Structure 1
Amino acid sequence: MKVTIVGCSGSYPGPDSPASCYLLETEGFRLLLDLGSGSLGALQRHIGLYDVDAICLSHLHADHCLDICGYHVARTYGPEAPYPAVPVYAPADAPTRLSAAYGMPDEPGLETAFDFVPLEPGSFEIGPFTLTAGLVNHPVEAYGFRVAAGGKAVAYSGDTGECDELVKLAAGADLLLCEASFIEQPGLPTDLHLTGRQAAEHAAKAGVGRLVLTHLVPWNNQATVLDDASRGGYDGPFELARSGAVYDLA
């Protein structure tokens, strides 16, 4: 399995990265985890515009899903349109919410380009991948994912506060893409985001092979995020996510 970080900026695109988007590839199948603000452009540095086989949206905040609107245009009106509908696994109200974001009526909405499948906790197959979804701690319906193929596994936190479900999803994973939106300071809200230290604590409890800190909010000092993670008790390799970074789990 190959993992490419397309976008890793938290809350909005930063100067060096779009918002959340991760490309997972195996056996010629290409799966996107999230398609946040600005990510559709950067995605085309790695694969063709029409080479996406499936998409999973962790939740419906703009920095994780909004480029679905632009992708609808490409698939509906591109030079060889209509293209086959891409399966999009997302919270149940995604078709209505995303059609409204684009300014379209509910019917047919974005479903001219996408086949929306409601997410719920549990495991299911997407091409050669086995994906497990679990509810995580965020103010809206939000999922973390475990994606397995060929004896390898990647876990993705989505957006979450401290969460036992994330530890379960990440247990023994080769790679954990874990959000680290907050800098350590007093009075941080709960059930919203993690600090670097908390991300490392989750990685340690799960026994993951590598931790990549992502959802990096541009106004934060990222060296501080990394320093916070060093105090989380995780003794494996860890680093900040970077747009364009590739992890080959073969």
Structure 2
Amino acid sequence: MLLTVLGCSGSIPGPGAAASGYLVEADGFTLVLEFGNGVLSRFQEERPLFSMDALVLSHLHPDHCVDVSSLYVARKYHPVPPLERLPVYAPAEAPSRFIAAYAPNAAERSSLDFTDVFTFHGLGSRVQIGPFTVDSALVAHPCEAYGFRISCGDVSLAYTGDSGVCAALDSLADGVDVLLSEASWTHAPDCVADLHLSGREAGELAARAGAGRLLITHVPPWTSAEDVLKEAQDAFEGPCELVVEGGRYEVGES
């Protein structure tokens, strides 16, 4: 399984940096995980425009999904559009969310139906997406939000999405080869509960789970990535690093 980072800037795109977006590939299948600000551009630098096989979204905050409206334009109005609708696995309000982001007024929204381009599927259970077995569970965030465990054969990747500390993350991350964890700030007593993880909490999660490797992502431009990484490394004795845009990470590689 190969993980490629399209964007990893937390909460907003940073200077020259896209927000959340990842490719997860195996057996010739391309699963796109998150599609935030700038990710459509980055995807086209890495792969042909219509080469994605499925799209999975953890939640509907803009930094994780806003480029879906532009993807709709591409798949709807391109001179040679794809013949098949793209499977999109997302929270229940995804269709109305993307239509509202695309259309500036109620009259236009009433005439739109994104299901002519996308096939929407809900989250919260185990699904098979190409060669991947994908488990999702609700996590601690202010909206309907999910974390994931993506497996292919005996190789597994867990992704926190955006979440505070919660039991669902421990379950998803248990024994994974790679834990891709957001860490949006350094640890402090006044951090907002049920919103994001600190570097320390990401490291503690990896340690409890017995993860083989910890990859830190979603650090906002105003947060010291080095301080977040140090916190995680202090809490987790295994391999731990900050992901970088364009970075490629083998999942299950010894």
Alignment of 1:76-91 (within 5 A): 76-81=76-81, 83-91=83-91
**1:16, distance to aligned residue in structure 2 (A):** 4.3
Unaligned segments of structure 1, at least 5 residues: none
Alignment TM-score, normalising by the size of structure 2 = 0.94
Q: Is the alpha carbon distance of 1:53 and 1:220 closer, same or farther for their aligned partners in structure 2, counting shifts above 3 Å?
A: same
Aligned to 1:136: 139
**1:223, distance to aligned residue in structure 2 (A):** 1.0
Q: Determine whether 1:206 maps to 2:190.
A: no
CA contact (8 A) 1:95 1:106 kept: no
Q: Deviations over 1:154-211 (max 9, x none)?
A: 0000000011111110111111110000122231111000100000000001111110
Aligned CA RMSD, in angstroms, stands at 1.3
Candidates 234, 238, 245, aligned match of 1:243: 245
CA contact (8 A) 1:161 1:191 kept: yes
**1:46, distance to aligned residue in structure 2 (A):** 1.6
Aligned to 1:117: 121
Aligned residues: 248
In the alignment, the residues of structure 1 paired with residue 241 and residue 16 of structure 2 have an alpha-carbon distance, to the nearest angstrom, of 16
In the alignment, the residues of structure 1 paired with residue 111 and residue 152 of structure 2 have an alpha-carbon distance, to the nearest angstrom, of 36
Aligned to 2:61: 61
Q: Deviations over 1:14-67 (max 9, x none)?
A: 124211111001111100111011111011122111000000110000000010
Unaligned segments of structure 2, at least 5 residues: none
CA contact (8 A) 1:100 1:106 kept: no
Alignment TM-score, normalising by the size of structure 1 = 0.96
CA contact (8 A) 1:83 1:113 kept: no
Paired residue secondary structure (1:239): strand
Stretch of structure 1 that moved more, 99-108 or 145-154:
99-108
In the alignment, the residues of structure 2 paired with residue 112 and residue 192 of structure 1 have an alpha-carbon distance, to the nearest angstrom, of 34
Aligned to 2:24: 24
In the alignment, the residues of structure 1 paired with residue 237 and residue 221 of structure 2 have an alpha-carbon distance, to the nearest angstrom, of 26
Aligned to 1:49: 49
Q: Is the alpha carbon distance of 1:107 and 1:156 closer, same or farther for their aligned partners in structure 2, counting shifts above 3 Å?
A: farther
